[in-house]
Amino acid sequence: MTLSTYLFDLDGTLIDSIDLILRSYRHTMRTHRGIDPPDEVWMAGLGTPLWVQFRTWSNDEAEIRAMVETYREYNLAHHDELVRPYDGVVEQVRALHARGKTLGLVTSKMRGGALKGLRLAGVEAEFATVVGAEEVTHPKPHPEPVLTALARLGARAEGTVFIGDSRHDLECGRAAGVRTAAVLWGPFDRAHLQDLKPDYWLETPADLELL
Catalytic residues: 9
Q: Give 198: exposed, middle or buried? Use CB within 10 Å, 0-12, 13-18, 19+.
A: buried
Of 93, 105, 164, 169, nearest in space to 132 by CA: 105
Distance between CA 26 and CA 17 in Å, rounded?
14
Question: Interhelix angle for 167-176 vs 144-153, to 10°?
Answer: 60
Show contacts of 73-77: CB within 8 Å, 24+ apart: 74/23, 74/24, 74/27, 74/28, 75/20, 75/21, 75/24, 75/113, 76/113, 76/116
Of 13, 180, 148, nearest in space to 92 by CA: 13
- Distance of CA 45 to CAs 39, 160, 206, Å? 10, 25, 27
DSSP at 137: S
